[in-house]
Structure 1
């Protein structure tokens, strides 16, 4: 199997770069559909107006869930308005929706995260949910975003929880890529792991451990520091390339399983992934020192380490078995692990991780 690495066409990160975004859009047309979170127009209207100066803009508010219904609604608008480019501005589900809309309309897509909460922005992937927020499927796209633009001042001004959530999502990247490197499981990029992808995944993890606490402190102060820049890059670019070309394994499958519990719906993607990463480490019997290091990191920055932290206060084996069954469904990435995994094993690992 060929080794494959893929990435966005261009990645732009820095303080106040949103106001300069027109510099990076010159090759993609003049009429744009902007799909934005409801708060974006209120908070960043001046920056967007400056960044899109000279463009004809069709602004459409995102309805909150990356569902097939929402994608179809926005696709129809893009076609009716005859736009030349799709721009997604906001959080992970908004960005995934913009990527899907661009795919179905065969248009370029520019991704503008306003938070560093997931590694979704750089990927050729949209995670599709039902309208009630339950994971439904992955939509694998033929190409990565044409441009990703992330303004670190906007990230610093956002609720700190989102930056921390991004650390939770990025926490899984190395452990999943390492598992896939053993099995040579095909990745989203369409081949086996390059050394580059696994190394980027490891760099993401090392960056979190070294700079995570300092980056959180900077975000709490609403300022951009080198530590914040490093963690935003780890959350977004390093983790994005690492998961896409390194592979997904148990942690994200267990995240998907956790979505069957209504109690977890108020948690972010990264918060669920953080706990699921600990579960994967237990499942694969990693060195207890390494597991404790991951748990300590989560506690330091405020990521969940127990089911109660995720809102699951009534824990029963039957309930957790339902999570485990969803985690091990046919086609789930947990089957990329270097050993056979069944629902009973996952149930036991979840309960053990919870007790740890």
Structure 2
């Protein structure tokens, strides 16, 4: 994955220029951005703008920066990135800020790259590990995965306001836990296969170790953090999980590498039945699929399924909208997940498309048993109205 010009023997680690996290961090956005430009453009959807406009306005005024918002269209497509890049050029902006979740942040990266200006990630949720990385996930207009887009630099700055994270729906933080738990599952597979990470080199020990640290923090702190966020509270557990979801998982996936969990996520986006799921929710189905493909010990698979069910993540195909899917539907998922450019090929063993489909089907039984052990009852299929 990424740029292989450096050759296969080099180990590469990538990171953003600066990472700032804490309650009220957004109030410092202006002074932090001022180090990178004097005419910023802030990309945000209407909901995020409504929640943050006052604090961002005050922050930019104190820093002596002009404030220009641009409305994010909602889907990180190539066309949306090109549109925002045109706004940057027409307005003479010299830095772009993605404000909100992973889709706005990924679009700001793409637009910044197209325009030749630095980009800043200002996260109001901790639902993905997108903010720190030098890549974007590009989707089609219908919401299906299209490709990864790689850049030669990471965000100049990442700002995460944990009070905003705590005030967002708890499901967002839970989805981030699903995204981040996959990081270690995938990084250890990439390490064992001597495969490339997302920046075109072999993983560094630090990248793989940060992936494991994210995992350890989440097993310790995810459940109390989610309980706190249910009440809009910022506790040490919340701070720890936000760091694990955003910084540690971001560094871990980019420099440690991806494998089957995210490839299965990409495959799931190819069918309409799963579009109700957040990124990290689909990734959790992918993590279970990878563990089953690996033949991981039953105790490990069952513990992971039960823990993520308690977190509130889907652990069955039923919850993903695929409980009654026929082989043809799952074959569409598998075909997308095993496309030649996909990260599933970083696994340290050979497999067939049938192996992937069988593992994906086996998730249902594993997830149902886990829900029963956790006292969560039968899984519910989504109501598509």
TM-score if structure 2 supplies the norm length? 0.91
Alignment match, 1:264 = 274
Q: Distance in 2 between matches of 1:110 and 1:184?
A: 32
Alignment match, 2:317 = 307
Of 242, 248, 251, which aligns to 1:238?
A: 248
Q: Distance in 2 between matches of 1:181 and 1:118?
A: 22
How is 1:1-356 mapped onto 2 (pairs within 5 angstroms)? 1-53=9-61, 54-356=64-366
Give the 3-state SS of the residue equivalent to 1:165 in structure 2: helix
Q: Distance in 1 between matches of 2:285 and 2:298?
A: 16
8 Å contact from structure 2 (residues 317, 363) kept in 1: no
Deviations 1:82-124 (A, max 9, x none): 1011011011110000000011111011110110000000000
TM-score if structure 1 supplies the norm length? 0.98
8 Å contact from structure 2 (residues 40, 93) kept in 1: yes
Give the 3-state SS of the residue equivalent to 1:136 in structure 2: strand
How far has the Cα of 1:58 moved from its partner?
A: 2.0
Give the 3-state SS of the residue equivalent to 2:266 in structure 1: helix
8 Å contact from structure 2 (residues 132, 246) kept in 1: yes
How far has the Cα of 1:190 moved from its partner?
A: 2.5
How far has the Cα of 1:331 moved from its partner?
A: 1.0
8 Å contact from structure 1 (residues 328, 341) kept in 2: no
Q: Distance in 2 between matches of 1:113 and 1:100?
A: 16
8 Å contact from structure 2 (residues 109, 155) kept in 1: yes
Q: Distance in 1 between matches of 2:285 and 2:79?
A: 30
Give the 3-state SS of the residue equivalent to 1:50 in structure 2: helix
Q: Distance in 2 between matches of 1:73 and 1:196?
A: 37
Count of matched residue pairs: 356
Q: Which segments of 5 or more consecutive residues in structure 1 lack a partner in the other structure?
A: none
Q: Which segments of 5 or more consecutive residues in structure 2 lack a partner in the other structure?
A: 1-8, 367-385
